Amino acid sequence: MKWNGIQSRSYLDASPVKLAAIQGTRSNSAPRSPRSLTRRYSGFTLVELLVVIAIIGVMVGLLLPAVQAAREAARRMSCSNNVKNIGLALHNYHDTHNKFPIGHDYRGDFDGNPTNAEGGSGFGWATGLLQFIEQGNQFDRFNPAYPAGENTITRNREVCQTPLALFSCPSDTKPPQWNDGAIENSATSSYQGAGSAYDGWAAAAVGATPAAGRFNGVFCRNNRGPAVGLRDILDGSTNTIMIAETKWDMDANRRNRSRIYAAKDIAEYASGATNALLVNGQWAINWTALEGNPQPHRTASSNHPGGATFGFADGSVRFISEYIQHTATAWVNAANAFDAPNKGAGYGLYQRLYSINDGLIVGEF
């Protein structure tokens, strides 16, 4: 072995004791085994990995409901904005015409007899709002001189088949279009007008006078008489529902009839189907056919937990609990309207909110 000068001197100048120690260390060093030459890597054991996976699963389980709640809150806010904008459009309509639109154009001359109870075009209250919701082009295609759904002379069917985002709640599972009555592929809606506090619709022929106490909501068929204005809402606009939310999963087939523009059960003129445009206050919120509701298509409802969104005649929007005090009082006769003999004790709060002039006090809700 060749040494440089410094190394050679250091080795040679070393004392015998140091030299012996150096040589002894070299001679006594045992060769390293192959195992000792292998590098050891640290990592997770299978048990540790399973523990980590379990912790992540618990965290996801805790966070998922919060994420879902946040998404539902956003959907509910979007729904509330829809109702607010529809209410604003109704007030703009009122500013122009000094009244709200007809609930359902039901009585007319398309059946050949203008004095009959039926025969109208079938168009509903929302069609009159098209100019006030930035749908002027849609309004220009609408021709009230012909029945809804007519498609030979006019574009009325095309109007009735056009979905509008404003009438669609993000939580509603409804399809954009669905066959209903005599209007195929009619545009569905998540909102309907507020009809009477009692079940049913005015069916008076020309010259007949329907019971005003029974058909007491903001909207009704034009059989009731002139359309309602703010001057007619004697119970106060803050206490009167004008727009009610509805959802798709209501009847035994998990559907609903809610439509935007029009409704009728025969092609030639309006007959039936008012429950596709209006709801009643006699039926409890979110009460489905599967739960025993005999009129699921006349019932306010939503997929928001605990209640539904409503627009009031003053333009405000409120979420009403499905547990609001409710009596489901049916119409008997004029003498018993609003349960007058008992000072309204049997005429519940929810039904009172549908009435425009029952004269009863409305408490907190």
pLDDT band for 123, please (50, 70, 90 cuts).
Answer: very high
Q: Is the pLDDT of residue 24 over 60?
A: no
Torsion of Cα atoms, 353 then 356 then 359 then 362, to 10°: 20
pLDDT attached to residue 1: 44
The C-alpha atoms of residue 125 and residue 196 are separated, in whole angstroms, by 15
Q: Is the pLDDT of residue 8 over 50?
A: no
User: CA neighbours within 13 Å on the CB side: how many for 212?
Assistant: 9
Confidence label for 301 from pLDDT (cuts 50, 70 and 90): very high
Q: Looking at the predicted structure, is the pLDDT value of residue 140 above 80?
A: yes
**In the structure, what pLDDT confidence band is assigned to residue 289 with cuts at 50, 70 and 90?**
very high
Question: Residue 204 has what pLDDT?
Answer: 95
CA dihedral 162, 168, 170, 173 (to 10 degrees): -80
pLDDT at 4: 47
Q: For residue 3, what pLDDT band results from cuts at 50, 70 and 90?
A: very low
Paired strand residues for 187 = 177
Residues in the chain, overall count = 365
Q: Is 363 helix (H, G, I), strand (E, B) or coil?
A: coil
pTM over 0.85: no
Mean pLDDT, rounded, of the chain:
89
* Per-residue model confidence as pLDDT tens digits over 218-258: 999 999 999 999 999 999 999 999 999 999 999 999 899 99
